[in-house]
């Protein structure tokens, strides 16, 4: 369960205050497949960052998994993200010096500190789920865009997060690969009841989600559930 209550975000640009989100309230249930859409500069990424505990609102309250995350400090927020949240980025953001296997392993070692046997089992399962088992020893620069995003998805899911945030996850992929990636995320959402929240312009994602939240100038102008 994820809840935004009267959230406002103001950025200081020199002498000028720029309000990116205005008094935004929003609630997303477990297992939802949600897209936040809107024109560039509408505040999509800011909402995603605030919900994803990467950024703090200037005003308002954000509750994730019944925790008021606005009260947490940097270290507590990092720990909270490591335990509950996964991220998928537009340009994949894999660690170039680590292999596919090690990239997926990274959060389990550096953040969750899981024993090796459990790590191995989880990683192998995920590699199979994202169809990257035969590529596990390759490094990111040896993979195609679609393959990298599959690895990024596996990395986001390996900690078994309740919520995954994906900022334009298909923007750097071709149509066919985008479709495959969306289907992959959908299947994971259905299998594990993971909440997926996208910030996107991509029609393919918009047509695949259960709920579309439209933002214009930092305000929700439309919030509709669609039959998938």
Rule CB under 8 A: which residues touch another protein? 49, 52, 54-55, 74-75, 78-83, 85, 87, 89, 93, 95-98, 106-107, 109-111, 155, 159
Least separation in angstroms between CB 81 and another protein: 4
**Closest separation in Å from C-beta 176 to another protein:** 26
Q: Which is nearer to another protein, 83 or 217 (CB)?
A: 83
Residue nearer to another protein on the CB measure, 48 or 208: 48
Dist CA 94 CA 152 (whole Å): 7
Q: How far is the CB of 73 from another protein (least distance, A)?
A: 10
Question: What is the DSSP annotation of 52-87?
Answer: TTSS--SEEEEEETTEEGGG--HHHHHHHHHHHEEE
According to DSSP H, which parts of 158-214 are helical? 175-192, 203-208
User: Which two three-digit tokens encode residue 36?
Assistant: 């936040």
Quote the crossing angle between the two packed helices 116-129 and 145-157, to the nearest 10°. Answer: 140
Residue showing tokens 């998805």? 153
Least distance from another protein to the Cβ atom of residue 109, Å: 5
Cβ proximity to another protein, 56 vs 61, nearer residue:
56
């Amino acid at each position: 369960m994820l809840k935004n209550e009267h959230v406002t975000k103001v950025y200081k640009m020199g002498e000028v205050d720029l309000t990116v989100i205005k008094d935004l309230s929003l609630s997303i249930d477990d297992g939802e497949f949600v897209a936040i859409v809107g024109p560039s500069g509408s505040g999509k990424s800011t909402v995603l960052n605030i919900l994803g505990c990467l950024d703090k609102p200037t005003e308002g309250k954000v509750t994730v998994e019944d925790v008021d995350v606005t009260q947490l400090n940097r270290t507590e927020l990092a720990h909270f993200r490591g335990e509950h949240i996964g991220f998928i980025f537009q340009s994949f953001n894999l660690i170039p010096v680590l292999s596919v296997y090690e990239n997926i392993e990274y959060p389990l070692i550096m953040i969750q500190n899981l024993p090796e046997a459990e790590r191995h089992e989880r990683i192998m399962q995920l590699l199979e789920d994202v169809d990257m088992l035969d590529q596990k020893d390759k490094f990111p620069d040896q993979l195609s865009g679609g393959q990298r995003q599959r690895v990024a998805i596996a990395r986001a899911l390996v900690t078994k997060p309740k919520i995954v945030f994906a900022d334009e996850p298909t923007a750097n992929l071709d149509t066919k690969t985008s479709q495959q990636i969306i289907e992959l995320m959908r299947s994971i959402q259905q299998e594990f009841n993971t909440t997926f929240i996208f910030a996107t312009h991509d029609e393919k994602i918009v047509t695949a989600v259960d709920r579309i939240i439209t933002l214009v100038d930092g305000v929700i102008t439309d919030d509709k559930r669609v039959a998938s």
